[in-house]
A and B are shown apart, each in its own frame.
Chain A
Amino acid sequence: MNDELLRELVPSVIGVLVRRGADFASAEDAVQEALIRAVETWPDDPPRDPKGWLVAAAWRKFLDAVRSESSRRGREEADFSSSAPVEVSDVDDTLRLYFLCAHPSLPAASAVALTLRAVGGLTTRQIAEASLVPEATMAQRISRAKKRIAGVRLDQPGDLPTVLRVLYLVFNEGYGGDVDLAAEAIRLTRQLVALTEEPEVAGLLALMLLHHARRSSRMVDGRLVPLRDQDRSRWDTALIAEGVVVLQNALARDRLGEYQAQAAIAALHADAASASETDWPQIVEWYDELLALTDSPVVRLNRAVAVGEASGPAAGLAAVAEVGADVPRRDAVLAWLHERSGDLEVAAELYVAASKAAAGVAERDHLTREAARVRSLL
């Protein structure tokens, strides 16, 4: 049994413990301990019934914890033997865990961590490594998050947009340590698609697949390569094909949302043999849809790029003029549009300004290099 199959069992095992009367926080701790034990012992001694093994091991850990807690406080031990099992499917359990771990009352970073642990079945150490924080910090973050949602019952309806936002954050976290969080986000979103009919979930999965398909062309020799310069022969055509099918099924349900619109834009890029052969007018139309759905300044800025490609740099610059000056990457977009209109001096200055405001080292170095490239044309 591989690690991924093992981790798939985690949400339903937590569900079993909760139905037997454990509170979520203790159940989750017990399953985490059982999981660590499984990783240690299964390679040499694989169980015949992996889920049964996990349930038994986690339940034992849970009872141990209750006993030591009761003896510490000198209280009577709670009676769990009489709690009759309630018939609830794994599907419901897993779906409810998504809602609980991405509860709207949690800060984003905590919801990400809790989702990775209770739904994803990752260990605290793996989550810490992937998030580049010390393990003790991550353990604290998870335990505080669990305290915060202690009063929330597992059968309460959840907030799907928050769940999707959390999965999107996981996807964008990239990867550190031995865990690929983008791949993990895809796995969790795939699992969620199987649990709900909501087209936005499928829209998010399509968006992730279409972005993931371009991953190997996005960084070359440690350098960031923008979409227009990427080697499209390196794009993963199987992932693109899957993303397009998932998207079409979502769009057919006729309830458009922001993830479906973003995926539609990604699909148009994936479909083009080069930047110049891209169907920019249709991309602008999708940005108009997206703007109607979100009214986000970031979307407005991205739309300006598409307008510049579809109708020329002057139209693009006019579109940027409607974007607030404090929107991240505005200078980078302006630089590109000025370069396209032959205004190289201005473009170089804007690339330098954009590099100083860059969010990361790869982006900073790329923009500095763009400034140098434009200057070398002067």
Chain B
Amino acid sequence: MKYLLLKHYRGGPTPATDQPSMDHWTPEEIDAHMAFMRDFGARLEANGEFVDAQALSIEGTFVRSDGEGRPPVTDGPFAETKDLIAGWYVIDVESWDRAVELAGELSAAPGAGGKPIHEWLEVRPFHTGTSLFE
């Protein structure tokens, strides 16, 4: 079963810890965090659970059509929006419980002072089972 582990720049429930932004950590704390993330990805691959990982730039905009013959309307950048996606992992695992377990591990990545950041991650199952309609 495939799940999306969604990381947010902003949004989600109230943060569990009061972490300063990463540029206020020490360089060594950043290195430890990056090493953790690399290991996490490598472990997923080794387990055969990795599908995809991507990071999104903080910049971007909302776009919608404004009718035929007119250019699309844009709204943004997202300075005012409450929710901003930072990136994701797509994992293919045995069960919902395993997906939650992995999200929990990822959320424990070390942050300032070497303490786990305990950030919220959004876990979303993929719609599958299209075979019913084939």
Contact surface of A with B, Cβ cutoff 8 Å: 221-223, 348, 351-352, 355-358, 361, 364-365, 368-369, 371-373, 375-376
Contact = CB atoms under 8 A, between A and B. Distances in A.
How would you classify the secondary structure of chain B's contact residues: helix, strand, loop or mixed? Answer: helix
Given A221-B35, A368-B30, A369-B31, A356 B58 contact: yes
8 nearest A-B residue pairs (beta carbon): A371-B23, A373-B27, A361-B55, A369-B30, A352-B23, A372-B27, A356-B58, A368-B22
B34 A222 contact: yes
A376 B27 contact: yes
Contact of B30 (A356, A357, A361, A365): A365
B34 A223 contact: yes
A221 to B, nearest CB: 7
Contacts of B57: 356, 358
Contacts of B34: 222-223, 365
A371 B27 CA distance: 9
Contacts of B22: 368, 372
How would you classify the secondary structure of chain A's contact residues: helix, strand, loop or mixed? Answer: helix
A128 to B, nearest CB: 15
Given A222-B34, A352-B23, A375-B23, 20 more contacts: A221-B35, A223-B31, A223-B34, A348-B23, A352-B21, A356-B57, A357-B59, A365-B34, A368-B22, A368-B23, A369-B27, A369-B30, A371-B23, A372-B22, A372-B23, A372-B24, A372-B26, A372-B27, A373-B27, A376-B27
Interface in B24-65: 24-27, 29-31, 34-35, 38, 55, 57-59
B58 A372 contact: no
A137 to B, nearest CB: 15
A222 B59 CA distance: 24
A22 B17 CA distance: 68
B118 to A, nearest CB: 20
Size range of the chain B interface in the assembly: 10 to 19
26 contacts: A222-B34, A222-B35, A222-B38, A223-B34, A348-B23, A351-B23, A352-B21, A352-B23, A356-B58, A356-B59, A357-B59, A361-B55, A364-B55, A365-B30, A368-B22, A369-B27, A369-B30, A369-B31, A371-B23, A372-B23, A372-B26, A372-B27, A372-B29, A373-B27, A375-B23, A375-B24
A222 B53 CA distance: 15
Most buried by A among B26, B30, B55: B30
Interface of B: 21-27, 29-31, 34-35, 38, 55, 57-59
Most buried by B among A348, A364, A368: A368
A221 B35 CA distance: 8
A376 to B, nearest CB: 5
Contacts of A376: 26-27
A216 to B, nearest CB: 18
Contacts of A351: 23
Contact of B25 (A222, A355, A357, A372): A372
A176 to B, nearest CB: 13
Contacts of A365: 30, 34
Contacts of B21: 352
Contacts of A375: 23-24
A334 B34 CA distance: 26
